[in-house]
Structure 1
Amino acid sequence: MSSDQAVELVPAELPGGAEAGAKKKRLRLLAIAVVVVGMLAGAGGVWWYMQGSGADHAGAAKHEEGSADGASDANPSASYIEVPPMMVNLRGGGAQAKFLKVRFIIVAAEGKTEAVKARLPVVLDALQPFLRELRPDDLNGAAAVFRIKEELMRRSASALGEGMVRDVLIQDLIQQ
């Protein structure tokens, strides 16, 4: 080659170079669209949760009508029965003993407060075997409190009879 001839260097296009860039762009747009749709769905779920269901509004309206008619509970706080705190050993194979302290309130059905108070030792006796069989692993996770509450409710209703207990409210659930 002589010095009079100029060599022009042109980069050769890689096979599929333009297509690969277009694919990356489409994937990025798709990822952004998925995130936006997820955020909108989450916002809609929060809005729906905050609005409540129609059944809740109907129950509140019915309660307001009953209050307007002059019908009210004679002593609304009488239906809450505080159970003495229970402390039990947790079942486990470790060398160190683990304990569970539970403090809860029983919500008695209307007019059943005295009957529930009189049979409270029977309720405590029904709950002891369940609480003693719990393992530390049973108390892990967000659903643990819900499962324990449901079991306390089921056993309380079983010990007292159907229609005696409306709810069980867990105040403390401490594992040591």
Structure 2
Amino acid sequence: MPVDEAGAKAKGGRKRLIAIAVVAVGMLAGAGGVYWYTQRGSADHAGEKQAEAAAAEGEAEGGEGHGAADADPTASYIEVAPMMVNLRGGGAQAKFVKVRFIVVAAEGKTDAVKGRIPVILDALQPFLRELRPEDLNGSAAVFRIKEEMIRRSTAALGKGMVRDILIQDLIQQ
């Protein structure tokens, strides 16, 4: 009987080794899947970010009738500290957007606008926090966000204070 017991032990050890190998391969496949998923998502957004940056650059150069402040030597540019806000969404992973922009003040209104930058930021916070990741897709997204930022800045400061807003960076993560 000692020969049968040795054969049974060898079969049991072999089954255990196969089970461990299957679990290890499954874990490696799962880790590879998670890595692929996260890299694929960042690659998808990288192309969108490049398109948005190109659109923002085109707008700053005066595309489609906007950006006329570039040609006006009396225009005054006020750089605003970057804003970073969470995006609205029900996903498991928190997403946020970072916006860096310049306010173009109307002629003779530079000091008044500089002193009221906190009011502009306060007016823009609710709008930016209500954005969803889908709202930032496509090249028209930068244009829509820029128009809404101009509208809210004008509402906060009054007509004739803000001439334009130039979006420098719009980064979604």
Q: TM-score range by the shorter chain?
A: 0.5 to 0.7
- Determine the C-alpha separation between the residues in 2 that align with 1:161 and 1:103: 22
Q: Residue by residue, what CA displacement relative to the aligned partner does 1:5-61 show, whole Å, maximum 9, x if unpaired?
A: xxxxxxxxxxxxxxxxxxxxxxxxxxxxxxxxxxxxxxxxxxxxxxx9xx9xxx9xx
> Is 1:112 aligned to 2:109, yes or no?
yes
Q: Give the gaps of 5 or more residues in structure 2.
A: 1-62
CA RMSD of aligned residues (A): 2.5
> Is 1:88 aligned to 2:85, yes or no?
yes
Aligned to 1:158: 155
Aligned to 2:168: 171
The counterpart of 1:143, out of the listed 135, 140, 143, is: 140
- Determine the C-alpha separation between the residues in 1 that align with 2:129 and 2:167: 17
Q: Residue by residue, what CA displacement relative to the aligned partner does 1:69-118 show, whole Å, maximum 9, x if unpaired?
A: xxx96xx57x1000110000000010100010000000000000000001
Runs (4+) of structure 1 moved beyond 4 Å?
none
- Determine the C-alpha separation between the residues in 2 that align with 1:113 and 1:123: 14
Give the TM-score taking structure 1 as reference length: 0.57
In the TM superposition, residue 142 of structure 1 has moved relative to its aligned partner by 1.4
- Determine the C-alpha separation between the residues in 2 that align with 1:175 and 1:118: 29
Q: Give the gaps of 5 or more residues in structure 1.
A: 1-51, 64-71
Residue type of the partner of 1:135?
A: R
Q: Which has the larger Rg? A: 1
> What is the aligned-residue identity percentage?
79
Which structure has greater helix proportion? 2
In the TM superposition, residue 163 of structure 1 has moved relative to its aligned partner by 0.4
* Relative contact order, higher structure (CA 8 A, sep 6+): 2
- Determine the C-alpha separation between the residues in 2 that align with 1:94 and 1:152: 26
